[in-house]
Structures are given as C-alpha cells and as structure tokens.
Amino acid sequence: MRNQRGFTLIEVIIAIIVLTIGVMGLATTAALVTRMIARGQRSAMAATFAAQRMELLRPAACITAQRVGGSDTLYRGSTWVASNTWTFVDEGNSFYRLRMMTTYLTDRLHTRVDTMEAGIECLVN
C-alpha cells in the first residue's frame, strides 16, 4: 500500500483553489491594463490635438494682430473629445510665451486639464 502513487482528494482541491486565485488575479490585471490603454489613447489624442494647434499658433506670436487668445474643440462625430484654450504672455524683449490648456474626458466621464507652454523669441531688425 505504501508504494501507491497519485494525488489525494485534498491535494487536488488545494491545487484547484490556487489555480482559481491565479486566474482571477490575471483577469483583474487584464481589465486594469485595458483601462490604462484607453486612458493613454485619450490622453495621446488630446496631446496631439494641442501640439498641432500650438504649431499653427507659433508664428502668430510675432505678429501683433494675430497674438490673441482663443479656443477650439475637437469632435469625433458629434462627441466632444478635447478642447484647447490658449493665451500669449508678453515676457518682454520680443519674447512671448504661448500657454495651451487642453481639457479632455477621462474614462469615468470626468475632465482632465493638461498644460503645455512654448517660449517664442521674435527677431527684431
């Protein structure tokens, strides 16, 4: 009888419990990673939108008539995705700071605000 091989019922039940806990942890982690990827996509979309607007506004800092604040909004179909608001700050000596504030939706339909700034030096003859 001592030479019999195999698992006892208790060992099998403990193995199933350990395996179940591991699979549940894996499923929880997968859901978290999915949410993080979606958050990163929304953040990247808003940052790209802000960077594109900032590049369009950079030359305006050196033209007095165009150096005005403003805002614009990005839509996907009829859904609001992100909104930019910008201002120009005169730092003196033909140096201007362009400040861009971008507001976008989070995964729980809250809003988040990110700020980008760029210093622009205008050459004066």
**pLDDT 10s digits, 95-117:** 999 999 999 988 777 899 999 99
**pLDDT 10s digits, 45-80:** 999 999 999 999 999 989 989 999 999 999 989 988
Query: Rounded CA gap, 60 and 64, in Å?
Result: 8
With H, G, I as helix, E, B as strand and everything else as coil, classify residue 77: coil
What pLDDT does residue 9 have?
87
What pLDDT does residue 125 have?
54
SS3 sequence, 62-73?
Answer: HCHHHCCCEEEE
Query: Rounded CA gap, 62 and 96, in Å?
Result: 8
Confidence check: pLDDT of 22 > 80: yes
CB atoms within 10 A of CB 49: 20
Q: Enter the tokens of residue 24.
A: 């549940």
pTM of the model: 0.71
